[in-house]
Structure 1
């Protein structure tokens, strides 16, 4: 699996989502699995307008 750096703040959000998913489903959800789901969901949902907005707020 390719490895990329994920900043600490973002990783904490992934961890929190994994905990929420574990509680919601009553099944253990690993952080790496949650990260994959979040990436795939984001790829389905993101638009060109989202890119423009992110670039505008990037510093």
Structure 2
């Protein structure tokens, strides 16, 4: 698996989402599994206009 840096602020959000997922499912879930799920969900929702917004940031 390629290694990429994730900034601290974004990683904290992933950790928070992991905690929510564990609480909701009442099952252990790895933070890397949550990260992959978030990426997949995000990729499904990207529109052409989003690329322009990305460039502005």
Distance of 2:51 and 2:27 partners within structure 1: 34
Unmatched segments (≥5 aa) in structure 1: none
Query: Which residue of structure 2 aligns with residue 17 of structure 1?
Result: 17
Provide the aligned length of Structure 1 versus Structure 2: 57
TM-score of the two chains, using structure 1 as the length reference? 0.90
Query: Which residue of structure 1 aligns with residue 32 of structure 2?
Result: 32
Distance of 1:26 and 1:41 partners within structure 2: 21
Query: Which residue of structure 1 aligns with residue 44 of structure 2?
Result: 44
Q: CA RMSD in A?
A: 0.7
3-state SS, counterpart of residue 27 of structure 1: coil
TM-score of the two chains, using structure 2 as the length reference? 0.93
